[in-house]
Homo-oligomer: A and B are copies of this chain.
Amino acid sequence: MSASAEATAAPASAKARAILDAAAELFITHGYGAVSMDAVAKRAGVSKATLYAHFGAKDRLFAAIIQSACLDMRGETPEMGPAGGSLFDAMLPMAIRWLGFLLRERSLGMYRVVVAEGARFPELAMAFHENGPRATRQWLTGWLAAQAARGLLQAPDPALAADQCLALLRSEMFLQATLGIGPVPNEAAIATSAAAAIRTFCRAYGAAD
């Protein structure tokens, strides 16, 4: 146990990059306990000794991977310009993109592995929350406050409104996807679910329909 926060820096050599890619893929797909260092080395095309020369231990490799993936998440989270139409029309495309992002296998895998190992790696749970849910919530809070100032909605507590908007989007469909139950939602299903969520949100918060 020595999970520190270094090694997230430049991926010097090509082998190091291969190790990082292989480890990310495997850890996010199968979780921490189910992935052996042998498997990482094999997939990266290097020997185990090389792997240990670059990252000192399994937990350090895991921490480096997940921390890095959490930072990537921040860039990938879809955002959106202000748009001019109704509140619903402005929010729907953003909602569809965000829900689609959430339901991608990589996002689901990240969520699963962080939930599973959050107790053993508290700093990873924090990093995930900061760069994922919290960053999205903060951005949406600002956006909703701006729209409220323009009279498009009534939100005395924009942070609460943002919470509830994201909670509505993260509904039964996300729960089932998280558990790996039922069919993988396609684009149409995602759009339908997002529209239902935004419709309800606008009915609760919209100044006008």
Contact = CB atoms under 8 A, between A and B. Distances in A.
A33 B126 CA distance: 22
Interface in A103-128: 111-116, 118-120, 122, 125-126, 128
B179 A114 contact: yes
**Interface residues of A toward B: which range?**
35 or more
Contacts of A112: 115-116, 118
Copies in the complex: 2
Interface SS of chain A: helix, strand, loop or mixed?
Answer: helix
Contact of A168 (B33, B167, B180): B167
In the complex, the 3 A-B pairs of residues with the closest C-beta atoms, listed nearest first: A33-B33, A116-B116, A167-B171
Interface of A: 30-34, 111-116, 118-120, 122, 125-126, 128-129, 133, 137, 160, 163-164, 166-168, 170-172, 175-176, 178-181, 196-197, 200-201, 203-205
